[in-house]
Amino acid sequence: LSPEDLHRMQGQLQRFMYEYEFGLREVETKISILSDEFRHMHDYNPIEHVTSRVKSADSITRKVIRKGVAPDIDSIRQHIVDIAGLRVTCSFTQDVYLIFNLLTKQSDITVREVRDYIATPKPNGYKSLHAIVEVPVFLSTGTISVPVEVQFRTISMDFWASLEHKIHYKYDGNVPADLVAELKDAADAAQELDAKMEALHRELHGAR
């Protein structure tokens, strides 16, 4: 590769990553507006906290290899749809669906895919509502449509997932069977807690 080729590739890669960064900012703004509206104009904010990240080049490469995607920018753009990711943690399960609906019904949002791991949890106990949404980003060169993965979950689902992720990482994916079973028990306990807390919350709001 000539220095010019390298320079061109570097520019392409930089532009590629910025596009996801911009898409992420658009969706983040939408969630943050909803959060502020609930906080200031209603008596209750269903959004507890929001985190976001653009997948690292290292992590994109691992996923490209794992999924057998051709290593060129167009194929990666088409097949790796969680390069921009947002995690919205809500108070209760009903809030998860409320915020999901409020985001996905916005007229500039296109829903590309929904995976409801709350209705159908993964065998290990993982629960979350995932949506791949496409958002327009208005650049000087024209409008692009950027996919963003939004994960919606409750505090207890988030607590469970972050511990499970650490354990999964520590054992490099080969988690011992007894730990897997304990994690599944913990997921069931988290679900029970969610149901109890939500019932209390409904009572409180009913009383008002």
Collapsing DSSP to helix, strand or coil, 116 comes out as strand
User: Tokens representing 107?
Assistant: 């007229």
Binding residues vs ligand 0O2 (CB under 6 A): 55, 82, 85, 115, 122, 124, 126, 130, 161, 164-165
Q: Pick between residue 138 and residue 171 the one whose CB is nearest to ligand 0O2.
A: 171
| Least Å from the CB of residue 152 to ligand 0O2 | 11
Positive or negative torsion for Cα 28, 57, 158, 134: positive
What residues act catalytically? 149
| Least Å from the CB of residue 149 to ligand 0O2 | 7
Positive or negative torsion for Cα 199, 203, 206, 208: negative
Q: Pick between residue 98 and residue 180 the one whose CB is nearest to ligand 0O2.
A: 180
User: Tokens representing 30?
Assistant: 């939408």
Q: Pick between residue 100 and residue 126 the one whose CB is nearest to ligand 0O2.
A: 126
Find out whether 63 and 77 touch, Cβ atoms under 8 Å.
no
| Least Å from the CB of residue 141 to ligand 0O2 | 29
Q: What is the DSSP letter of 178?
A: H
